[in-house]
Structure 1
Amino acid sequence: MVIILKKLKIPYLNIRWKLVSTYLIIILVVLLVLSAFLLNTLYSYLFNQRKVDVLTDTNIIASIVSEDFTIDYINQKLPQMPLEKNARAIVVDTESVVLYDSYNETSMIGKTFINTSITNALLTNGKNSSNAYKDNGSWFIDATVPVIKNSQTVGAVYLIVSGDSTESIILHIQNSLVLLGALILLFVGIFSTSIAGVLTFPIERFTKFINNMPKDSLQHVQINSHDEIGQLALAFNNLIDRMAELEEKRRTFVSNASHELKTPLSIIKLLSDSLIQTENPDPEFIKEFLSDMNKEVERLTRIIEKLLDMTQMDSSQSSMQFVHTDIRELTLEVYDKLMPLAKNKNITLSLNQPDDEVILPIERDTLTEAIYNIADNSIKYTESGGQVDISVSRDLGSVYIAITDTGIGIPKEEVQKIFDRFYRVDKARARETGGTGLGLSIALDAVKLHNGHIEVKSEEEEGSRFTIALPYAEELTPMQTP
Structure 2
Amino acid sequence: MDTLSSRKMTPAALPDRWPWQRSLQARMIIAFGGAFLIILALLTFWLGRTVYQTYLEAAEHDLEVVAFLASNALEDPLSGYASEFARYQQWESEHKRAASTSLETSIGDREVDDNKNDEDEEEAPTKDDDPGAPSSAPTLTPPPTPEIVLPRLQGVAALYARDANVRVTILDKNGHPVADSHHPIEQIAPQGGQPEVVTALHGDEMSDVRVDEFTNALTLFAAAPIQQGSELLGVVQLSQPMQIVATKARNLVLTIILTGIVAVLASTALAIWISRQLVRPVLRLERAALAAAQGDLSQQVPVQTGDELGALAQAFNTMVGAVRTMLDQQRAFIAHASHELRSPLTNIKLRIEAVRELGDEAPDISERYLAEIESEAERLARLANALLDLAHLESRPPAPPERAVDLAPLLQNAAAIMQLRAEAAGISMTTATPATLPLVKVHPEQIEEAVLNLLDNAIKYTSAGGSVTLAASAMSDRLTITVSDTGAGIPPDDLPHIFDRFYRVDKARSRARGAQHGMGSGAGLGLAIVKQLVEQNQGRISVESTLGQGTNFAISFPLMA
Fold-level similarity (TM above 0.5): yes
Alignment-mate amino acid for residue 512 of structure 2: A
Query: Are the structure 2 counterparts of residues 115 and 409 from structure 1 closer, same or farther at C-alpha, using a change threshold of 3 Å?
Result: closer
* RMSD over aligned Cα atoms: 3.9
- Superposed, 1:23-172 pairs within 5 Å as 23-25=32-34, 27-29=36-38, 31-63=40-72, 64=74, 67=82, 68-69=84-85, 70-71=87-88, 72=146, 75-80=150-155, 81-82=158-159, 83-84=161-162, 87-104=166-183, 107-109=186-188, 114-122=193-201, 125-132=202-209, 138-149=217-228, 151-172=230-251
Which residue identity lines up with residue 331 of structure 1 in the other structure?
A: L
User: Partner of 1:351: helix, strand, or coil?
Assistant: strand
Q: 1:177 to 1:379 in 2, by over 3 A?
A: same
Q: Which residue is 1:369 aligned to?
A: 449
Q: Distance in 2 between matches of 1:137 and 1:367?
A: 101
| C-alpha spacing 1:212/1:252, structure 2 compared with 1 (3 Å) | closer
Cα deviation for residue 451 of structure 1 reads: 3.7
Change in Cα spacing, 1:288 to 1:105, as seen in structure 2 (3 Å) is: farther
**Residues 1:443 and 2:530 aligned together:** yes
Distance in 2 (CA, whole Å) between partners of 1:283 and 1:204 is 74
Q: Does 1:223 align with 2:325?
A: no
Matched with 1:455 is 543
Cα shift at 1:325: 2.8
Q: Which residue of 2 aligns with 1:467?
A: 553
DSSP 3-state at the match of 1:360: coil
- Report the secondary structure of 1:59's partner residue: helix
Residues 544, 553 of structure 2: 8 Å contact kept: yes
Query: Which digits, 9 at most, give the CA deviation of each residue in 1:352-377, with x for residues without a partner?
Result: 12466343333322222111101012
Match of 2:258 in 1: 179
1:334 counterpart (402, 414, 420): 414
What TM-score do you get using the length of structure 2 for normalisation? 0.70
Q: Which has the higher strand share?
A: 1
Aligned with 1:337: secondary structure? helix
Mark the CA change 1:444 to 1:430 in structure 2 (over 3 Å): closer, same or farther: same
SS at match of 1:238: helix
- What is the count of residue pairs matched by the alignment? 465
Closer, same or farther: CA 130–267 of 1 in aligned 2, 3 Å:
same
Distance in 1 (alpha carbons) for counterparts of 2:326 and 2:216: 80
Deviation at 1:310, TM superposition (A): 1.6
Task: Tell me the secondary structure at the aligned position of residue 298 of structure 2.
Answer: coil
**Identity, % of aligned positions:** 22
2:91 paired residue number: none
> What secondary structure sits across from 1:361 in the alignment?
coil
AA in 2 matched with 1:369: E
2:399 aligns to what SS in structure 1? coil
What's the CA shift string for 1:264-293, capped at 9, x where partnerless? Answer: 455556667778899899999999887766
Q: 1:164 to 1:274 in 2, by over 3 A?
A: same
- After TM superposition, give the deviation of residue 454 of structure 1 in Å: 1.9
Alpha carbons 1:400, 1:467 under 8 Å: kept: no
Say if 2:441 and 2:559, in contact at 8 Å, map to a contact too.
Answer: no
- The Cα shift of 1:164 comes to 0.6
**TM-score (normalizing by structure 1):** 0.80
* Distance of aligned partners of 1:253 and 1:324 in 2 relative to their CA distance in 1, 3 Å threshold: same
Structure 1 stretch 397-406 or stretch 333-342: which is displaced more? Answer: 397-406
SS of residue in 1 equivalent to 2:405:
strand
2:141 maps to: none
Range that drifts further, 363-372 or 82-91: 82-91
Q: CA deviation at 1:144?
A: 2.1
The 3-state SS of whatever aligns with 1:130 is strand
How big is the shift at 1:402? 2.2
Structure 1 unaligned residues grouped into runs of 5+:
1-5, 476-482
- 5 Å matches for 1:285-300? 295-300=375-380
**Contact kept in structure 2, 1:130 and 1:142, CA below 8 Å:** yes
Alpha carbons 1:325, 1:359 under 8 Å: kept: yes
CA contact (8 A) 1:402 1:466 kept: yes
Instruction: Give the Å deviation of 1:108.
Output: 3.8
Q: 2:313 aligns to what?
A: 233
Match of 2:3 in 1: none
Contact (CA 8 Å) 2:447, 2:533: kept in 1 or not?
yes
Is 2:378 the partner of 1:325? no
1:391 aligns with 2:401: no
**Is 1:197 aligned to residue 276 of structure 2?**
yes
What is the CA–CA distance in structure 1 between the aligned matches of 2:189 and 2:414, rounded to whole Å? 126
